[in-house]
Structure 1
Amino acid sequence: MSSLIVLPSRTDAFSAYQPSKNAHTDFISAVDLGRGGSSSGSKDGVKTVKLSVTVKPTSRPQSNLLNDLLASIPAILSGKSTDLSYHTLSHTCHTLVLQPHSLGSSLYYRIKEELEKSASGVVREWRGSIMSKQEGWLNRLVEGWKSWEKRVDLLSAIFVYLDRVYSNSNNGIASIKELSISIFRKSIWDNEIISEKTRSDVLAWSTKERESEQPLEDIRPTIKSTSKLSKLLGTFDQSISKSYLQHTTEHYCSNAEYYLNQVEQDGDEKMKPGKYIEWVLEKVIEEKERAIACLSNEVSEQAVTVVRKEAGEKVANRIIRKALDECMDELDIAALTRLYTFSTDINSFPLLVTSLEDHLEARLKTLISNPENDAQMIDGTLKMKRFSDKAITGLFEISSSLDNVISEDSEVKDVFAVEEDEKNEKELAENKRIKRNRQFELEEASRVGFKKGLGSRQNAPAEWIAKHLDLAMRKGPSLSDSEFNSHLDEIIALIGFTKDKDVFKAFYSTQLAKRLLLGRSASDDMERNMIAKLQKEMGEEFTSGDIMMKDLTLSETLVKSYQSVQAKDPEQYKDAGNFTANVLTESAWPAYPLLKDGWNFTLPPNLQSSIDLFTSWYSTQHKNRQLSWRFQLSTVTLTARFPASGNTKYEIGVSLFQAVVLLLFNDEDTLDFKSIQSRTGIETQELIRTLQSLALGRKGTRVLLKKPPGKEVKPTDIFAWNKGFTSERIKFKINGIQQDMSAEESKKTNEQVHIDRVSVLEATIVRIMKGKKKLSLQLLIDNVVSDVVKRFPPDVKEIKKRVESLIEREFLMRDEEERGMLHYLA
């Protein structure tokens, strides 16, 4: 673009101008050439213009500018006002750091020097206050830093061009701010007296909070500011964190030892183990909150680790077993939950598993070892097992799945959100896996503990489990069928824990037979259900129960046939009475002995006639079969009247032996013991039990009187018909003592089990050798043990005895060259 005004390259328009000495005070005087004006001193009529121009002041020397700038630094750092404005100072800095001056190095060195001088003054002041033991050191430190930081920020703002041109990361030189932090750290924070005082005051705060067991809200802001300053200075880990964690370690090491001594001692000051566990868990929460609020998340995690290690992991073997014993003894699920959390937090879960196993074993050994506890043995064991199962299950309730954090309506999914979801799902799956494994370990520990405990006494647990089951089957469900089935499952679980399963089978079979024959079972359906459960758990060897049930069904059909014959020919069977019999297969039922030693049992004629008629009829139905009567299982229903009861006719359910004794009193009002025995032929001990049940039974069943009074029946006692007998019930039973398994019967059953074991061992040895033909003694023993261990714990010495017996009876023979090798003889 061309210019609107074209100026000549040369002109003499200003030739008359002569600058004066005071040119800076002159003003331009424009001559109005248009009006033809002329200036003085014009020559030859030439028009001239006279100008008055303000002359630019001459620049100050560089040294003066530098001195002004340097003089301002001490004033700024001391918080005083400067002679020049901040704008002027900043402009001067700008001028000096740029070309051609380039005085950045000089300025930076002087600033560093002044910062060090200022720091030295602060150190002297603060050391004096510390030495004079003035209170509130941390507040003074924090406020002093804030004042220092404020002045340094002002200095940085004024010398901003120095940081931009000279002291920057490109040049590898620290900025004024970074320089001030470095100088504060080296000169002030790292001062031995100051650093020690700061550290001791922080630790004193933590000690005070721990002792008061509550946060000190008035001090915490100062601690938080001190931590923030330490982090800014880059000394947090060494100056505060390390000391704090070391102090925390010492605190919990000593406190844990103190409380554990209280746990382990006896007396009024004794501390319960569960209280110690609760204390540790509370301190974990407390330390975590304190460190997060005032120090850092990292210190929080480290402090929690310290508490768990010093008060948990290092002393786990001194507290976990005691705490577990307390939880189990007091049936405290909440305390057990805390103990589980404690053990997993301190990486001592295996110790909890071992403790549970040992506790159950020890408790059961204590319970089982004393014969006086036999009656309560199974109730106590079941109570323990219910709590153990409930507690273990409660510890591992599966938590609900994570919420879906990605909206289903979103068309575009955030990749990071998807990855986070996948990560959470993996963590959840891993946590579930860990929980399942832990649950399995505790359940297995429970099983092993019960198995070891119940195996600590031979035969007795299996016997009493059978007796407990017998009582349950007699009573039946008290609440609901489902609860009753659960109770049966608990009993079966105990059977699985016992080694002497053959003992249980022997007692169970005997008691099942009594329940079925005496009509004492609450329900035949429940009996069948129990038999099915046992077969599933224990194997087909429990099929004898099925055979018993089938025998009774066939017997009912047989009796109905007999009653039908009676109805068709009443005259022939007029003396048969209301008679029923259970005709059983002898091999399917327990071995009930005949009445032999000490017995001369005689039935009254009316009862004997009933048996004779039935026997005669049965022989016509089954010519090749012979009946063998077991009177000890028979029952009779009597009708009776007593003078005191008027015309009331009672129906009394009694055993056959009780009935035979009571029928004697139709002819005699009083009989002595010897007379009763001679007329009935009942064995002495059985007669004593029978008379006890009739004269000394529960109230409302004492139909006989004993003289002299007393709890024991003696051969010199006299018995009389109780004419004053009354009862609120028209129908009642007099329970015979012989209906419950006596100590003698228990002894005989155990003896029979031992005999059966010998037979089982021999049969197993013969079966194995028949298959192998040739086998070493050691391998034979191993095979026998693995074969019979499911039924009973085999004794190696007994196996060797059976081998020797079989060799003597020529079932086996030793190898002539190798004595340890056995051969089967066909």
Structure 2
Amino acid sequence: MSSLIVLPSRTNAFSAYQPSKNAHTDFISAVDLGRGGSSKEGVNTIQINVPVRTNQTPTNELLQSLLQAIPNLLSGKPTIQSFHTLSHTCHQLVLQPHTLGPTIYGRIKEELEKSANGLVREWRGSIMSRQEGWLIRFVEGWKLWEKRINLLSAIFVYLDRVYSNSLNGIASIKELSITIFRNSIWNNEIIAEKTRSEFLAWSKNERELERVLDDQRPTIVEITNLSKLLDTFNESIVKPYIELTAEHYSSNAEVHMEEVENNIMKPCKYVEWVLSKVIEEKERAEINLRKDVAEQVVRAVRKSAGEDVAKRVIRRAVDECMDSQNVESLSRLCTFSIDVNSFGVLVQAVEDHLEDRLKTLISDHANDSKMIDATLKIKRFTDKAISSLFSSSEDLSLDKSEDVEDKVFAKDISEQKRLRRNRQFELEEASRVGFKKGLGSRQNAPAEWIAKHLDLAMRRGPSLSDSEFNAHLDEIIALIGFTKDKDVFKAFYSSQLAKRLLLGRSASDDMERNMIAKLQKEMGEEFTSGDIMMKDLTLSETLVRSYQITQSKEPETYKDAGNFTANVLTESAWPAYPLLKDGWNFTLPPNLQSSVDLFTSWYTTQHKNRQLSWRFQLSTVTLSSRVGKDKYEIGVSLFQAVVLLLFNEEDTLDFKSIQSRTGIETQELVRTLQSLALGRKGTRVLLKKPPGKEVNPTDVFAWNKGFTSERIKFKINGIQQDMSAEESRKTNEQVHIDRVSVLEATIVRIMKGKKKLSLQLLIDNVVSDVVKRFPPDVKEIKKRVESLIEREFLMRDEEERGVLHYLA
């Protein structure tokens, strides 16, 4: 049967056909229709059988049509064939038997280079004409280029699958386009310089304006991403960015440091500036670059603005923080020093600050009375500040059920804790060294005033709680540990302890025992004399009670004894109270002398092999006095009592008469009369003529018949009860004498054990032996050696003059 319709084998009927944008969909639909399907239900399908063409399109024509489409795709122009046809043609030509992949790939590479060169010409022209908005234009150009490359890559997908792939070692179309863009455009000298300068200008503007440029940052991020894609991120972006950052902060740091050194800008303000800029630069780099780059940027800022000027700013900042006692500023400074790798500078600065500050404080003799209070104030702040610097850090803990990564993390946390403890120890040690150097800058005085401060504290007792008072005592003991002259402290402490105990001026015997125990623990058994003093007083109280019992049993024998008590003490355990001689001719009134004589005779019957040696310097008397109709009980020293008893016989006496009748030494009598006539209001029981603050040998004294006091019982404090300048001088002289004795005893003890020793080794041994008690002077040691040689305890070797022998 013949066909109803005869169609020609060739026709131009479809020459005007333009490929649809939905060519691929149309093709699929056509295939479905060809399989007998229908696009709509109920529509009849007519099948037309067209004979298959026997002659196919020549390969050369297919290749030319494919190659001609490449520049159109790169320029954004429409192609003659549909994208599906071009993709099919590419598939056909890269497979056997054609294998035209190299040819197609070569043309794509050539056209990519032409397209890139065109962009170069266009963009160089805009740069040369100084058009604004370069980075935006560049980013938009890249995005358009990328979009067209993606289309080209999609159409020539079979080329990448068959020819240009990793197995063949040939770059894909996308990889090729990136390489060409990098080599031809990104690395172009003019374009690269313009891009880099605009990128750096953005960062410079944000730093100078000190605000975020939100309208520019999206473009900056695009430039950063492009450089990462082109594998030029480190060289083209990171390196110049970090160099500019370092240069910026180096110059700004120098400007600010000049302000700091000229007292225009405070050092702590500079530290705050650096810390804030580190945070600012880190955030900028993390958002616009990359986290690892942010770390590099932070290091650059810390190096330029921190580490390079650390020695110039940290010491000044330490002075500011410590002087103002600002813990918060000191904490920031500590963070700063750790961040800029200059913690050692901070440690040294703390040590130097404390040394210089204490030197300044104690070198001025006008500060002596407030020396220890000021020193303790500095120490309290220093200890509190160092403790707070490291206690505020968060302690991270982990559960037991953790994997390997958590265990590694826990190890890191443990290492951080170890570093934190080490840093705290370094600062604490720097504090100790600073205090030692500062207090050691003046000989003897700090130890003396520590003892006086302790004496005042023990007299006053706890003002708040016992725990706070004990803490205060611990602070004093710490200061004692910082002094070199521990023997000076011991001498003054023993003298003042004796006064407190004998005069009943101590706030509490239990506190005294507690302090003695603390000193023995920290300073050694040299402070056992305090224990002996306390035991002596206990035994003395028992002895006095026995005497009083005897008085009650034999009232007739002891009728003239009066209400008399005495402290019987072991002379070797107490400070050396000298006998009253050299200007003294002291005599007791008969009623007082009888009390002393009766007690002495009774004591002799109790202890036949002991002898009493009386010391009247610290004796006290309670006098009953009547002034008009008023009665008073007055607590006075023995010397004050002897003077006042004279006025029972005479209403008026001159200075010389008082001295001749009492035998009191001139200076002591002056102080006694000053206390009786010129003391505080309500205690002036004598009148002086002529009036004045000084007591002269021509002055006349009279009983104050108009004396009144609000209190019936009161004390007239004698000036001699407080440590005078003369007593201080004598104590220091005694310390020097004791040091000579200690040095000689140490030399003899060492030589007795060694028998033969060189002078240098002897000096070294002596120094190491006595340094815990006081700082030995090498010259003084040599003097003691010469003295011992003269006294024939030692002798020089006849052949080696530097060698010494012990003489038994």
What corresponds to 1:83 in structure 2?
Answer: 80
| Separation (CA, whole Å) in 1 of partners of 2:384 and 2:50 | 104
Q: Which of 352, 356, 361 is 2:355 aligned to?
A: 361
Q: Which of 725, 730, 734 is 1:752 aligned to?
A: 734
User: What secondary structure sits across from 1:169 in the alignment?
Assistant: coil
1:697 is displaced (CA, Å) by 2.3
Matched, 1:223 2:217: no
Q: 1:712 to 1:221 in 2, by over 3 A?
A: farther
Q: 1:171 to 1:519 in 2, by over 3 A?
A: same
Q: 1:182 to 1:479 in 2, by over 3 A?
A: same
What corresponds to 2:666 in structure 1?
Answer: 684
1:748 is displaced (CA, Å) by 0.7
Q: Deviations over 1:737-788 (max 9, x none)?
A: 1111111111111111111111111111111122222222222222211111
| Separation (CA, whole Å) in 1 of partners of 2:663 and 2:7 | 167
Matches within 5 A, 1:193-204: 193-204=190-201
Tell whether the 8 Å contact from 2:398 to 2:410 is kept in structure 1 after alignment.
no
Q: Deviations over 1:452-471 (max 9, x none)?
A: 11111111111111111111
Tell whether the 8 Å contact from 2:577 to 2:615 is kept in structure 1 after alignment.
yes
Tell whether the 8 Å contact from 1:398 to 1:432 is kept in structure 2 after alignment.
no
Q: 1:451 to 1:96 in 2, by over 3 A?
A: same
Matched, 1:538 2:523: yes
Matched, 1:652 2:649: no
What corresponds to 1:66 in structure 2?
Answer: 63
What corresponds to 1:663 in structure 2?
Answer: 645
Q: Which of 570, 578, 601 is 2:555 aligned to?
A: 570
Q: 1:114 to 1:549 in 2, by over 3 A?
A: same
Tell whether the 8 Å contact from 2:654 to 2:700 is kept in structure 1 after alignment.
yes
Tell whether the 8 Å contact from 2:536 to 2:568 is kept in structure 1 after alignment.
yes
What corresponds to 1:511 in structure 2?
Answer: 496
Q: Which of 253, 257, 261 is 1:260 aligned to?
A: 257
Matches within 5 A, 1:246-645: 246-266=243-263, 270-397=264-391, 399=393, 401-404=395-398, 418-643=403-628
Q: Which of 38, 52, 56 is 1:56 aligned to?
A: 52
Tell whether the 8 Å contact from 1:263 to 1:273 is kept in structure 2 after alignment.
yes
**Structure 2: 5+ residue stretches without partners:** 12-47
1:20 is displaced (CA, Å) by 8.8
Matched, 1:673 2:655: yes
Tell me the amino acid that sits aligned with residue 255 of structure 2. Answer: Y
Matched, 1:707 2:689: yes
TM-score normalized with structure 2 length: 0.92
Q: 1:20 to 1:539 in 2, by over 3 A?
A: closer
Q: 1:104 to 1:823 in 2, by over 3 A?
A: same
| Separation (CA, whole Å) in 2 of partners of 1:107 and 1:405 | 62
Q: Which of 718, 724, 728 is 2:710 aligned to?
A: 728
| Separation (CA, whole Å) in 1 of partners of 2:65 and 2:353 | 86
| Separation (CA, whole Å) in 2 of partners of 1:553 and 1:792 | 32
Q: 1:167 to 1:246 in 2, by over 3 A?
A: same
1:101 is displaced (CA, Å) by 2.2
What corresponds to 1:28 in structure 2?
Answer: none
| Separation (CA, whole Å) in 2 of partners of 1:441 and 1:236 | 42
Tell me the amino acid that sits aligned with residue 187 of structure 1. Answer: S
Tell me the amino acid that sits aligned with residue 466 of structure 2. Answer: D
| Separation (CA, whole Å) in 2 of partners of 1:348 and 1:243 | 26
| Segment of structure 1 superposing worse, 762-771 or 633-642 | 633-642
**Structure 1: 5+ residue stretches without partners:** 1-13, 26-51, 409-416
| Separation (CA, whole Å) in 2 of partners of 1:509 and 1:67 | 116
Percent sequence identity is 78
Tell me the amino acid that sits aligned with residue 284 of structure 1. Answer: V
Tell whether the 8 Å contact from 2:770 to 2:776 is kept in structure 1 after alignment.
yes
Q: 1:22 to 1:426 in 2, by over 3 A?
A: closer
| Segment of structure 1 superposing worse, 667-676 or 61-70 | 667-676
Tell whether the 8 Å contact from 1:115 to 1:183 is kept in structure 2 after alignment.
yes
1:557 is displaced (CA, Å) by 0.5
Q: 1:696 to 1:218 in 2, by over 3 A?
A: farther
Q: 1:604 to 1:105 in 2, by over 3 A?
A: same
User: What secondary structure sits across from 1:316 in the alignment?
Assistant: helix
| Separation (CA, whole Å) in 2 of partners of 1:715 and 1:136 | 102
Q: 1:128 to 1:824 in 2, by over 3 A?
A: same
What corresponds to 1:817 in structure 2?
Answer: 799
Q: Deviations over 1:296-346 (max 9, x none)?
A: 112211111111111111222211111112221111211221121111122
Q: 1:122 to 1:729 in 2, by over 3 A?
A: farther
1:260 is displaced (CA, Å) by 0.7
| Separation (CA, whole Å) in 1 of partners of 2:49 and 2:281 | 79
| Segment of structure 1 superposing worse, 216-225 or 812-821 | 812-821
User: What secondary structure sits across from 1:87 in the alignment?
Assistant: helix
Q: 1:764 to 1:76 in 2, by over 3 A?
A: same
RMSD: 2.2
Q: 1:272 to 1:398 in 2, by over 3 A?
A: closer
| Segment of structure 1 superposing worse, 788-797 or 506-515 | 788-797
TM-score normalized with structure 1 length: 0.90
Tell whether the 8 Å contact from 2:671 to 2:720 is kept in structure 1 after alignment.
yes
Q: 1:554 to 1:178 in 2, by over 3 A?
A: same
Q: Deviations over 1:494-550 (max 9, x none)?
A: 111111111111111111111100001111111111111111111111111111111
Q: Deviations over 1:184-220 (max 9, x none)?
A: 1112111212111111111111111111222222221
User: What secondary structure sits across from 1:636 in the alignment?
Assistant: strand
What corresponds to 1:164 in structure 2?
Answer: 161
Q: Which of 107, 110, 119 is 1:110 aligned to?
A: 107
Tell me the amino acid that sits aligned with residue 563 of structure 2. Answer: N
Tell whether the 8 Å contact from 1:634 to 1:655 is kept in structure 2 after alignment.
yes
| Segment of structure 1 superposing worse, 812-821 or 236-245 | 812-821
Tell me the amino acid that sits aligned with residue 469 of structure 1. Answer: L
Tell me the amino acid that sits aligned with residue 616 of structure 2. Answer: F
User: What secondary structure sits across from 1:631 in the alignment?
Assistant: coil
1:23 is displaced (CA, Å) by 6.2
Q: 1:572 to 1:116 in 2, by over 3 A?
A: same
| Segment of structure 1 superposing worse, 617-626 or 328-337 | 617-626
Tell whether the 8 Å contact from 1:24 to 1:55 is kept in structure 2 after alignment.
no
| Segment of structure 1 superposing worse, 444-453 or 515-524 | 444-453
